[in-house]
Structure 1
Amino acid sequence: MISKTARLCVADHQYWIHGDVYDVTEWRYTGFNGLVASIAAPGVLRDPGDFAIVMTGTESGPVRVTVQAAARELGPANLDAWDEVVEVSLLLRGENPAVVTDFDDDASSSLSAFTVLGPGPYRVRVHARGRDAGQEALMVDDEPVEEHLIQVWPAPAAPTHVIKTSDTYGTTFRPQN
C-alpha cells in the first residue's frame, strides 16, 4: 500500500479527484450524497464517473488529506473515527490522476499519480471528519480543523455506496425525506 498525507489548500468548499477529463460547468446537486460526487462531464452524477468532486466544510484554507492506494480493497472503514464515509467508482482517465484544488501548490503534486496500479476503473472510499468545524471557521489560516482519508483500489464499477452520514454540513446537499 502507498500512503501520502498533505495539507491541501481548498477553495469554494471543494477539491477534485481527476485524470485529464473534468468539466463542472453544469454540475447538478440532485441526488448528491453530501460528500463525494462521481461525475461524468459536463456535470452529471454517474457511476462510474470520469472524476469526482469532494465537498469540504472549510470554505477556504487547509484541509489535511491522506491518500492510500492499494492493490485490493482495504479493510472496512472505522466508522467511529469518521463523520462521513462514501464509496464511488471512478474511471480517472489520463496519465496523472490526482487530488487537486484551484491552487497550484506542492501539496496537490504530492497527492498526484495515486493510481499507480494501472488503468481504472477504481473504487474510491472517501472519509471526512471536522467539516462542521471547517464550516464554522469559514477561513482557516492555521492548522486544519478538517481531515479527509481517500482509499483507492482497482475494482469493477459499482453504484455509489453511502456508508455513513452524520455531519450537519452534508445535510445542506442531501435530499430531504
Structure 2
Amino acid sequence: MAELIQRESGELFIEYNVFTVLDPDVMDDFSADFKETGLLTVVEGGAAVLCGTHTGTIEATAESWDGAPPLDTAPWQDVAEATLRWPGQRMEVWGAGYTYDEELPLAIPGPGTYRLRVSGRHRDDGENRHREGTPTEHYLLQLWTAPPAPTIMHKATSALGTRWRSSPPTSN
C-alpha cells in the first residue's frame, strides 16, 4: 500500500481560471489546452488545472506519495490523472504569478516521470462566490513516480468540465 510522503494545504489566489504546477527555475508559463479532461493539462515540465473561479481564492492540497494513492472519487466532481515528465529538481503548485508567495511544494526525488491526479469540487459555482454560504472551490493534487500511461478521466460530473471537453477545436 502506498504511503503519503508530504501534504501541504493552503489558499491560492488565481487569475484567468487557472493554477499551475511547475519548477520556476525551468518554466514560468505555457499554453494550456483543457479539451481532453476539462480539468487538467500537462506539458513537458508543467501542468495546469482549470477552475470555475476566474479571479479569486481557491483551496488546494498537494500530496506526494511513494506509489499510487488510493482512488476516492466520492467527494469530488471531477478526477483526472495524467503522466507528467519532469526535467527539474523541484515542483511547486502556483497561483497567479510570482508575487503572492503562496506556492505549495511537492516532494520529488528529481527529474523523472510522474503521475499527477487532480480532483476538484465546487467547480460550477464560478464567480458567484460572494454569496454567503457558497462553498470555496477545492482541489487535491496527488503525485507519485510512475511510468508513462494514458490520461484517465476517473470522474466527470461538473458542467464546467463538460463545456471544455465538448468545445469545438480552435484553428491555428
Is the pair's TM-score, using the shorter chain for normalization, greater than 0.5?
yes
Structure 1 contact 72–153 (Cα < 8 Å) conserved: yes
2:86 aligns to what SS in structure 1?
coil
The answer for the alignment partner of 1:89 in structure 2 is 83
Q: Quote the residue 2:111 is aligned against.
A: 119
Cα offset for 1:136?
4.0
Runs of 4+ residues over 4 Å off in structure 1: none
Matched residue, 1:65:
60
Alpha-carbon distance in structure 1 between the residues aligned to 2:135 and 2:7: 19
Compute the RMSD of aligned alpha carbons: 2.4
Residue 132 of structure 1: which of 120, 124, 132 is its match?
124
Matched residues in 1 for 2:135 and 2:57: separation?
A: 5
Determine the structure 2 residue equivalent to 1:74.
Answer: 69
Counterpart of 1:73, as a letter, is A
Indicate the residue corresponding to 2:14 in structure 1: 10
- Deviation of residue 115 (structure 1)? 3.3
**Which residue of the partner structure matches residue 167 of structure 1?**
158
Q: Which runs of 5+ in 2 are unaligned?
A: 168-172
Gaps of at least 5 residues in structure 1 are 40-48
Aligned positions, number: 160
State TM-score, norm by structure 2.
0.82
SS at match of 1:170: helix
Per the alignment, in what secondary structure is the counterpart of residue 116 of structure 1? coil
1:65-103 per-residue CA deviation (whole Å, 9 max, x = no partner) reads 001101111111x22200000001112322321111224
In structure 1, how many angstroms separate the alpha carbons of the residues matched to 2:58 and 2:135?
5
* Aligned-residue offset at 1:158: 1.0
